Chain A
């Protein structure tokens, strides 16, 4: 599966469009990470625990999108967009969407 966030794939031709595909996941942070981040919050800088948490979650959402596209018979997804939103206290939604296409 070829993924890009451009409208076309440089060097390849799109031969068929399958429409929107998307994947999402809502993750809450756990208490252990929260305590560690609380200490880190004192001196500032990168909160590595949270970076990893969101990265994992984003990969999961992307994999769901890829599965959906594969089910349609697509071999590429173009114009991929990501969005992150805090939906509740301590929980964030990661949403990925794009257009499933077939490239020749």
Chain B
């Protein structure tokens, strides 16, 4: 009887992280796919509204207004991808889970800048900063959450 109980306990201890990882894999994957889909449709809507890192304006047009614009997003990996990234640390090489995380955060931050001024013509001097804002789970391991901040100067030409 007691052995049975111990077996259940041992199973629970070992099965729980696996279950969590499985749950994170399914839900995290769904969230990421939905986010990428929304990013793609919104990017298509802003196709004629560029955000450029240079500071050049159309010479023949008069600037009506120029204002600072900032937008940010804090993102984190799901539990499953965090485990994958930790394994990647052993062998080295490309960490794809972080690549897609940062890609999606950067594109989202740029879109949020544009959404603040939907009537403007372009964003010049666009800069992107990525910073780690500490481990969210209180442990020292892992990258925790990452903040992506996009800044720029939004320009509207006189019509």
Contact = CB atoms under 8 A, between A and B. Distances in A.
Contacts of A16: none
Please indicate which of the listed interface residues A11, A34, A86 has the most CB atoms of chain B within 10 Å of its own CB: A11
Interface string B101-138: 10000001000000000000000110101011110111
Interface string A42-85: 11111110110011001000000000000000000000101111
A41 B127 contact: no
A41 B74 contact: no
Interface residues of B, number: 48
Contacts, number: 129
A54 B133 contact: yes
A5 B149 contact: no
The A contact surface, by secondary structure, is mixed
Contacts of B76: 37, 40-41, 44-45, 47
A7 B66 CA distance: 12
Contacts of B27: 43
A24 to B, nearest CB: 15
Given A3-B68, A5-B151, A54-B147, A46 B28 contact: no
Given A44-B28, A44-B76, A86 B131 contact: yes
A39 to B, nearest CB: 10
A10 B81 CA distance: 44
A44 B68 contact: no
Interface string B144-156: 1101010111010
Contacts of A51: 72-74, 147
A50 B129 contact: no
Interface string A78-104: 001011111001111000000000000
A5 B153 contact: yes
A-B complex: 4 closest residue pairs judged by Cβ atoms:
A44-B78, A11-B63, A3-B68, A50-B74
Interface of A: 2-7, 9-12, 29, 34, 37-38, 40-48, 50-51, 54-55, 58, 80, 82-86, 89-92
30 contacts: A4-B66, A7-B55, A10-B63, A11-B62, A11-B64, A11-B65, A37-B145, A41-B145, A42-B24, A42-B78, A43-B23, A43-B24, A43-B78, A44-B31, A45-B75, A46-B108, A48-B74, A51-B74, A51-B147, A54-B72, A54-B133, A55-B72, A82-B70, A82-B151, A83-B129, A84-B129, A84-B131, A84-B149, A89-B134, A91-B134
